[in-house]
Structures are given as C-alpha cells and as structure tokens.
Structure 1
Amino acid sequence: MGALACGGEPAAARVLAHGVGERADLPIPLFYAYAGAFAALVVSFLALALLWADSRFRGDLAGRPITLRPPSGTARAARVVTLLAAAYTLAWLLLGPPTENAAPYLVYVLFWVGLVPASLLLGPVWRVLNPFRLLPDRPRRPYPARLGYWPAAAGLLAFTWTELVAPEPAAPRTLLIFLTLYAAAQLTGTVVYGHAWLERGDPFEVYSTLIGHLSPLGRRADGGRVLRNPFDGLDAIAPSAGLVATVCVLLGGTAYDGLSTGPAWVNALQSAPFGGRAGLGTLGLLAAVAGVAVLYAACLGVAGLIGGTKGLAGGFAHSLLPIAVGYLIAHYFSLLVIEGRHALILALGLDAEVDQNAVAPGTIATVQVLAIVLGHVAGVVAAHDRSVRLLPPARAVAGQIPLFVLMICYTTGGLTLLLA
C-alpha cells in the first residue's frame, strides 16, 4: 500500500502490501501458480457445466433463522464509540507529529483493510458502526433510483486516489482534506435523502455491505437474521445503477496498486517532474479501472449475443465481488497483520517494536495465491448459477464461455501483478 511509504513513513509498508517484493523470494514459482489457478478454473467450469443445470441459490429468501438478538441500543452505542474513535484519529491528524503519526495507520490499515475480514465474518459491520447513522432519518426527498451506487463508486475512487496517487498520501493535510470532503458529502446526502443515502452513497458502508454479502451471517427479505450459504448472500445483491462501476473501482484500484510497485511504473513516476507524478498516477488509476470495466462489458456483450439476451451486465456484477475480495486479501493480508500492530502501538503509545518478519514468505505467498484462485472459482460458481437462471437452457453453458475467458484474464492479471 503506497500510502504508508510516503510522508516519512517506512517503505517496508509498501513491500508488505504485496508480499515480500521480488518473485525470486517467493516459494511459489509463477508457472506453478498459473498452472494451479487455470486447473482450478477449468475443472470448476467443466464440473458446473455437467452437474449444475438449474439455479440453486435463493438470495435473501435463504437462511436458517437466528434467535439471538443484541440488546436494544447496541447499534447506537457502537456508533457513539466509533464517533469517539474518529475524533481520536482527527486529533492525531491535527496535533500529532508529521512522522510516526498514528492516523494514517488507523485509516489505511485498521479501518480500510480491517473492514474486509470484519465484513466477511460479521456481515455489513460499517452499517452498524457508521456514526452518520446517528443523524435522524428525515429525508426531504426520496433517493433517486438513477443515482444507485454511483456516489459510492465516486467516493471509493476518490479514496483510492488519495491512498495510491496523491503526492503525500500519509501526510496529515492530505487525509484531513479527504475526510473533510467525505464528511461534508455524507452530511449533505443524509440531510437531503436520509439514511437511504448512506446505503448507496457512503463509499465505506457500500464497501462493507457488498463484502458482507459473502458473510455466513445475513438477513432475509423479511429482515430476520439468518445463518446462510455465502453464495445465497452473494445472490441477494440486486442489480442497480452504478453497481458494476463500484465493483470495477475495487478491482481496478487493487490492480493499479499492484502495477504501481512494478519497476517500469516506478521508473516512469520517478522520471516524471514532481508536479506530473500525480497526473501520471491519475491516468494509470483511471486506465486500470477502465480496463477492468471494458473487459467486463465486452465479455458480457458477447455472452448476451450467444445467449440471445440483452442487458446482462448488471445481472452478473455480483460474480465480480468474490474476485475483488480475493484481490483485497491477497494484496493486504500481510499489511493488516504486521502494520496493524504498528497502528495499535502508535495509537496507544506502547513501548514496543513490530516484527517485520512476523509472517513467513511462504505464508504470504500461499494466502495470495489461494485468495485469488478461490475468489475466481467463487466468481465462476456465482456466474454459472446466474447463467442457468437468465439464459435459455440450450445456450446457458455456451453463454458462459465469455465469462470464463473473463475470469482467466482477471486471474492471469492478478497473479502477474502479485508474483511477477
């Protein structure tokens, strides 16, 4: 993660975000990583084509009811605690030292990266913790359906730019500017549209909620809490305006993060004048997001032609989510484990040191490859189940071939950026 390698912070954080740096240091050669990934995708695709003829996932109708309910007022208390934690982070930004400041670690590591495992285990945790939900839900007008997830996609892109492209991502001033703009957008949106804005317009709530669909803890359509198959939760994601863009921002952002540490891109940035580095980085980030989106749209367009069905893009956006989560885990696993401790040490003023070798290279490489491969296999399963539901039976398998090609392209790109 580039943010912690700037503004006086140690460059090791960037290395840890992508494993242990050089491919020669990794115990898994790139050829075997490719071979294993392709084998897993091919076997899963063929098995699904032969054995899975009907849709099996039931979305928000599935799940076993959970009778245990949290005490009344738990969510409000959690939001108050989160508000206090936000104020503490703000105090670090305003009053803390320019170097070894805890705030960048709290924001970029514990919050941003930590939301991934928290949401996977517990569901949409930021919906419960979001301090903006302390505001009254009194909308002045209904939230426009045409906006959908577009505000969240824009917010996630802005955060990714701040983290990966801004000249000094870890500088207090940079974070203060982003957080001020973020807070102003959420306050304005909540005053105008009520809490419906937070469900679609708060980038971090949308981020947590989408990932939370893969959690075994969820809610049915009637609002009841349930234990469920994560694929049912994934199937419950309803197509909406901006959903594809939001997932493509997540995928493209992690792709650019991997690309930005490559020798060619690093040399290009270093040779650019200081004022031009942000511009070059912005173009690179936008190109990565656009590349993911164009490839997705092209493959879905071909799938629609084969299947004789139009407008498939929104219906398959959910199949990209496990891929995005796999990338996030692969990129940031070691960062959370190692630099997460650094965040706590700085924030609490502890007299301790972080062991930068706490995670073995073999463990990092294994997590990276497994996260990407399992994420893509899950994407293949989700796409297959949706295909047999949306495409004519005679064309359901043939219509999935472009989607399978899409998965191969994403897998190749992801492994190359991580291990090459």
Structure 2
Amino acid sequence: MTGALLAHGIGSRHDLPLSPFYAYAGAFTALLVSFLALGLLWSTSRFRGELAGRPLPAAVQRVADAPATRTTLRLLGAALALLVLLHLLLGPDDPDRNPAPGALYVLLWVGLVPASLLLGPVWRLLNPLRTLHALRPPRNPRPVPAAVGIRPAAAGLLVFTWLELVAPDNTSTTTLLIALAVHTGVQLLGAARYGDRWFAHADPFEVYSSLLARLSPLGRRADGRLVLRSPFHGLDSTPQTPGLVATVCVLLGSTAYDGLSDNPRWITTLQTSSLDPTLTATLGLLAVVALAAACYGLCAGALRLMDRSLTTPLTSFAHSLLPIALGYLVAHYFSLFVTEGPRTVIMAAGTDNALSPAPPLGPGGLATLQVAAIVTGHVLGVVAAHDRSVRLFPPARAVAGQLPLFLLMIAYTLGGIGLLIA
C-alpha cells in the first residue's frame, strides 16, 4: 500500500473498459425514463419522514438503548482511537508497515459509508471525543446558535478531504498526529462551550455518518421508536439546517476532484504550473467544490423564480443530493475499501508488509459497478426531488418545477461518468 493509493481512492482508473457511448446513453436513458414515469404516475407526496417506519421488537430497542450498550460502544471507540494513536506515536513512518494511515483514510473515512447505511449514525455512538468530553462536561453549556447549523462540520470535511487528496506527506505519522491534535483541540474547545450538542454540529465524521444514515433502513421515528423503514422516508426527514448544502457539495466536489486527480491532463497541469503543486492542487479542489455548489445554487435560484412562494429553495431540495454523493463515494472508494481495508486490519494484527487481497471484481465488473453506483444515486435523487416537488409546488407546476433539478442531475451524472472514463 502506498501513500498515493491511500490518498487517491482506488488509484488509476485509466484502464477501465468503459464504452463512453453506452455509459452516457444508459445513464441519460435511466434518468429520463425515471423523470417521465414519476411525472405520470406520482402525483402526491408519499414520503412521511420521521413519522414512518415499522417498529422493531421492544426487546431489540431495550438492548439498543441500554446504558450498558452505549457504554460498551463508547469504550470500543476509545480503545480503537487509542490503538491508532499508539501506532502513530510508536510505529514506523511507513504506510506499508503502519496501519494508522489506512485506519483513518480507509476504515474510518470509507468504512463509515457501509456502517452508516446498515446501522445508522454509528459514529455518534463510537466517537472517542464524546467519551473524552464526558469525563469533564461543562456545568452550564450554551446552546449552539441556530445559524451555525452544520457549517463547522462542512469546513471540517473540506479540511479532511484536502488532507486526503492534496496535502504532501499525508500518510506520514507527523502529519497525521498534527491533524488529529488540531481536530481534537477544536472539537473539545467547542464542546467545552456548547456541551455535547457541539459534536452533532461540528464533528465532520459524526455529521458525515449521520447524513449517510438517512439512507439506512434502520432509523428512529419522531417518538423515539427504533424502526425499519424505506430509505426514502429517512432521506425525507433530513433536517433543512444551515450548512447542509455546503456539506453535500463538499462531498460531491471532493469525490469529483479525486477522479480529476488521476486525469493525465490534470497531472500535467500540476507538473507544469508556475505555482507550487500543492497550491495548484488546493485551488483545483476548491474550484471543483465551488463548481458543485454554484451549479446547485443556480438551480435553487431557478426554482425560486418559478415559484416565489418557495422561501427556502436551497435547503428544500438539498436532501436529494445525498444519494448522488453516496453514489460517487461508492464508485470512487469501493475497490479501495475491499482491498486495503482487510490489509489494514491484518497489519494492525501484527503482520508487516501484508499483501492486499485480490480485488473481488475484475476491470469489467468494477467499471459496471462504478457506473451503476453513479446512475443509481442520481435516480434515487430524482425520486426524492420529485416527491418533495409535488409536496411544495401546486399540481400544475409540480413537474415543471423540478426541471432545473433534473437538468442539474443530468449534469452531475455526465460529469461523474466523464471523470471515470477520462
């Protein structure tokens, strides 16, 4: 395992056997058919958010909510964090022999995707910073201002993706120790002022996990009951909080930049630019994130022009971008997780220079999975946006009202596939 592989998702994708024509045509057809079918067959809102779900047995809820269960998970998270810290402090400064970089970039960052989809917001239960904070909580914490929303978490995610994709020596123990120290300091200082509610607003991994968990079949109703539900109900319950758009655009933009970073033209730009390569790459990352945000902002502006009664166009449809971000994450990181994840665990068990398992899919299978993940994410986004549209717009304008979003999703889809085959 090399630092470059860890830092750039699945590594080179230039040899994936993708036919541009079939990839683009299939994606466009899937989106168009979905849009037309929804317009003809789906005239009223069907998603009920936090009111939906089939309750799990009471015994399951008692075990899940038991103090002993919560304490065990907190201790597990603290023990794993301590193990990573010891490897950073005492282990070799070599990602091929030290599992700490893989633990952060693969098991945490990528592993939170399947964990949150299957089990819900798991990092909230494992977060070692919550455990540290609980040792000495403030007596009179202040409420987190409503205007803050999850903006601090969006900023934290941007910094982490910069560390993952741009920063030089991003797998060195010194770099990671400094990054963890800064992250820990910022989070604990905020929690000392605002209490443990701060983590739900500012911890990038907790917010990341909580947003992905909106697509989990396991969730909670408004009354606190643990339920099984359609992921669409969970997605519909996503709070329209300040910073939601920024957070999702960071996820979209950073995964798009991960694809761009393997493009030969971009590599040539980094090598020939008169600016420092790190500065050029930083500007590139910021530009891609800004482009994703600007496209969505233009779409929201068009929605506002179409219906002046829509007072919150930015946040009203932001939840529909979450499946798209998930599709991008799966497309870019699946291969990394299933190969480097087990290798990291083997190294942590004491085996140096462990070999990565053989990829479960060949180039053709991986290419199919990547395109399918991106297209499926966008189709789910179209469904979520349509349901919200028929709820917010008058019936005569419900379909026309989501045209800007549909065009945006086509652009995101074609852009995502273009980065895969570039």
Structure 1 length as normaliser, TM-score?
Answer: 0.94
Is the Cα contact below 8 Å between 1:16 and 1:335 reproduced in 2? Answer: yes
For the residue of structure 2 that corresponds to 1:209, the secondary structure is: helix
Q: Does 1:21 align with 2:21?
A: no
Number of the residue aligned with 2:418: 416
Distance 1:267 1:128 in 2: 44
Distance 2:148 2:306 in 1: 30
Paired with 1:340 and 1:313, the residues of 2 have a C-alpha distance of: 36
Find 2:84's aligned residue among 89, 92, 95: 89
Q: Cα distance, 1:17 vs. partner?
A: 1.2
Shift of 1:272: 4.2
Q: Which of these residues, 38, 41, 60, is aligned with residue 48 of structure 1?
A: 38
How many Å apart are 1:15 and its aligned residue?
A: 7.3
Residue 193 of structure 1 deviates from its aligned partner by 1.0
In the TM superposition, residue 356 of structure 1 has moved relative to its aligned partner by 4.6
Deviations 1:133-177 (A, max 9, x none): 223364521111010010000100010011111011111111111
Q: Structure 1: which amino acid aligns with 2:242?
A: A
CA deviation after TM superposition for structure 1 residue 82, in Å? 1.2
Residue 127 of structure 1 corresponds to 124
**Counterpart-to-counterpart distance in 2, 1:318 and 1:226:** 21
Q: Which amino acid aligns with 1:348?
A: A
Contact 1:253 1:289 survives alignment (8 Å): yes
- Quote the offset at 1:59 in angstroms: 0.4
2:7–2:105 CA contact under 8 A, matched in 1: no
Aligned counterparts of 1:17 and 1:148: Cα–Cα separation in 2: 33
Percent of pairs with identical residues: 57
Contact residue 111 and residue 337 of structure 2 kept, 8 A: yes
Q: Tell me the SS of whatever aligns to 2:219.
A: strand
User: Residues 8 and 261 of structure 2 are in contact (CA less than 8 Å); yes or no, is this contact kept in structure 1?
Assistant: no
Does the aligned pair in 2 maintain the 1:15–1:21 contact within 8 Å?
no
CA shift for structure 1 position 264: 1.1
Deviations 1:97-125 (A, max 9, x none): 11122111010001110000110111111
Specify whether residues 221 and 151 from structure 1 end up closer, same or farther in structure 2 by C-alpha distance, changes over 3 A only. same
SS at match of 2:109: helix
Partner of 1:288: 288
Distance in 1, matches of 2:363 and 2:370, equals 11
Q: Determine whether 1:30 maps to 2:13.
A: no
Alpha-carbon distance between aligned partners in 1 of 2:199 and 2:403, rounded to the nearest angstrom: 37
Q: Which one-letter code corresponds to 2:13 in the other structure?
A: G
- Report the count of equivalent residues: 409
Distance 1:344 1:239 in 2: 38
What is the correspondence of 1:376-415 to structure 2 with a 5 Å cutoff? 376-415=378-417
Separation in 2, partners of 1:133, 1:12: 31
Is the contact made by 2:7 and 2:164 (CA closer than 8 Å) also made in structure 1? Answer: no
Match of 1:331, SS? Answer: helix
Which one-letter code corresponds to 2:93 in the other structure? P
1:241 is paired with a residue whose SS is: coil
**Structure-to-structure mapping, 1:70-85, within 5 angstroms:** 70=63, 71-85=66-80
Q: Tell me the SS of whatever aligns to 1:302.
A: helix
Contact 2:219 2:227 in 1 (8 A): yes
Tell me: CA distance 1:235–1:328, structure 2 relative to 1, closer, same or farther (3 Å).
same
SS at match of 1:218: strand
Counterpart residue type for residue 128 of structure 1: L
SS in 2 for 1:113: coil
User: Which of 88, 107, 111 is the equivalent residue of 2:104?
Assistant: 107
Structure 2 CA distance for aligned equivalents of residues 56 and 110 of structure 1:
36
Partner of 1:297: 297
Superposed displacement of residue 363, structure 1: 2.1
Aligned ranges 1:182-261 → 2 under 5 Å = 182-261=183-262
More moved, 246-255 vs 262-271: 262-271
Residue identity matched to 2:393: L
After superposition, the CA RMSD in angstroms is 1.7
Contact conserved, 1:149 with 1:200, CA < 8 A, in 2? yes
Could you tell me how far apart the structure 2 residues matched to 1:43 and 1:184 are?
50
1:355-389 deviations in Å (ceiling 9; x for gaps): 45443112211210111001000000000011111
Of 362-371 and 320-329, deviating more is 362-371
One-letter code aligned to 2:355: E
Match of 2:168 in 1: 167
SS at match of 1:145: coil
> What do the CA deviations read for 1:7-57 (whole angstroms, capped 9, x no partner)?
xxxx55567615x622xx333312111111111100000001111111110
| SS of equivalent to 2:198 | helix
CA distance in 1, matches of 2:6, 2:168: 17
Deviates more, 1:277-286 or 1:201-210: 277-286
SS at match of 1:213: helix
CA contact (8 A) 1:252 1:288 kept: yes
Distance 1:262 1:33 in 2: 18
1:194: how far off?
1.2
**Residue of structure 2 in register with 1:66 after alignment:** 56
Correspondence 1:359-370 to 2 at 5 A: 359-370=361-372
Tell me by how many angstroms 1:411 deviates: 0.1
Instruction: Output the TM-score relative to the length of structure 2.
Output: 0.93
CA contact (8 A) 1:235 1:318 kept: yes
Cα offset for 1:5?
A: 4.3
Aligned CA distance change for structure 1 residues 40 and 358 (closer, same or farther; 3 Å): closer
Mark the CA change 1:385 to 1:358 in structure 2 (over 3 Å): closer, same or farther: closer
Which ranges in structure 1 are unaligned for 5 or more consecutive residues? none
1:151 alignment partner in structure 2: 152
The code of the aligned residue for 2:83 comes to: Y
**Most deviating of 233-242 and 131-140:** 131-140
Which 10-residue stretch deviates more, 153-162 or 189-198? 189-198
Is the CA contact 2:8–2:258 (under 8 Å) kept in the aligned structure 1? no
Question: Aligned-pair distance for 1:395?
Answer: 1.1
Note the 1:325-364 alignment, pairs <5 A. Answer: 325-350=326-351, 352-364=354-366
